[in-house]
Amino acid sequence: MIPSIGPETLLMFAIGGVLIYLAIAKEYEPTLLLPIGFGILVANLPLTELMTPGEGLIWRFYHYGVEWEVIPPLIFLGLGAHTDFGPLLANPKTALLGGAAQFGIFATLLGALALNAIPGIDFSLRDAASIGIIGGADGPTAIFLSSKLSPRLLGSIAIAAYSYMALVPIIQPPIMRLLTSQAERETQMVQLRYVSKREKILFPLIALSLCALLLPSAAPLIGMFMFGNLARECGVINRLSDTIQRSLINIVTIFLGLSVGSKLAAGEFLNVETLGILLLGMIAFAIGTAAGILMAKLMNRLTDTPINPLIGAAGVSAVPMAARVVNQVGLKANSQNHLLMHAMGPNVSGVIGSAVAAGVLLAML
């Protein structure tokens, strides 16, 4: 006998279908939204054994990959292997923009606690910290932190984080235009200096050492991120570096997407708290974008070398999409204004910043 399917399940089918549509038709983060959408369908289908605790295949992906905290560090390993720290090392002050963009994380933490005034919402401080990390626009970090502090909200937080990452080209440009003038958007920046191979090899080693000494709770993410980057830059393990950049991260991404989607069963997702998380995620992302831009404008008042304020929007961790959006908006203002490499500085520092913010929250809570 086939069990009946209620309206809540049908709504989850629709949500999964929308994510699959966005991945295929619009190409919004397809490597993540497609497996997440498929995972939602599996989690809500009757008569499926894929989610059976202790036996189901996708249950095992989630249990061993997310609960055992294996998948997020491996994603950071792949991100590190894809990252070029050259723009950040060539212009270190852009790290301030990546740091400023993390303001959205802590502002949203307070906002989550304020939502407790609404009936049906009961966010603890640990819940609020997990929700706030959405503002970093860093899906793996959001999953890593929420799996430790607030597993019950993992599915909602992950879907919010990855959805807003996918919608960067839609969300950020209006904020960027609102907070900058035409003259500011037209600002051209000087050519970046050459960064030597020695600098690129030493940076991940120094960064990891500082993290281990000052904030060991962030070491799983920062450590794998820096090792991936070292594998890229050292030039002696190209075969391993290629594997990390391609095969490994692709396989892990499949497991991650299916695991996240599997936590979005109708009974767990459709509630007032989820709506609050989605709203707060949007606010967090907007605040992070605005804070980076405003920091860039402040730096222009304090330094002689002009900075295009648009690159502050790349301080969120959506690598490299945020940097590409900055470049597109800059080119619309001035066809000779190529900002991609300049924006990669705050973009990669934003990845480090979100991991550091997660480590701070873990250490405090």
Q: Which tens digits make up the pLDDT trace of 13-25?
A: 999 999 899 889 9
Is residue 188 within 8 A of residue 336, CB to CB? The reply is: yes
Could you tell me the two tokens for 285?
A: 């992302």
User: pLDDT for 322-339, tens place per residue?
Assistant: 999 999 999 999 888 889
Give me the mean pLDDT over the 282-289 stretch: 89
Q: Under 8 Å CB-to-CB from 8, ≥6 apart: which residues? A: 266, 267, 270
What's the angle, vertex CA 259, arms to CA 256 and CA 263, rounded to 5? 140
Specify the pTM.
Answer: 0.89
DSSP H helical ranges for the chain: 7-25, 30-44, 57-60, 71-82, 86-90, 95-100, 103-114, 125-132, 139-149, 154-166, 168-179, 182-185, 197-214, 219-234, 238-243, 249-262, 266-269, 272-302, 321-333, 340-364
Q: Which residue, chain included where needed, has tokens 């994380």?
A: 105
User: pLDDT for 141-173, tens place per residue?
Assistant: 988 999 889 988 888 888 888 777 777 888 899
Question: What is the C-alpha separation between 343 and 45, in angstroms, rounded?
Answer: 43
Which backbone phi and psi does 118 adopt, to 5 degrees? Answer: -85, 130
What pLDDT, on the 0 to 100 scale, is given for residue 1? Answer: 46
Phi-psi category of 154—alpha, beta or left, where left has phi over 0 and alpha has psi -120 to 50?
alpha
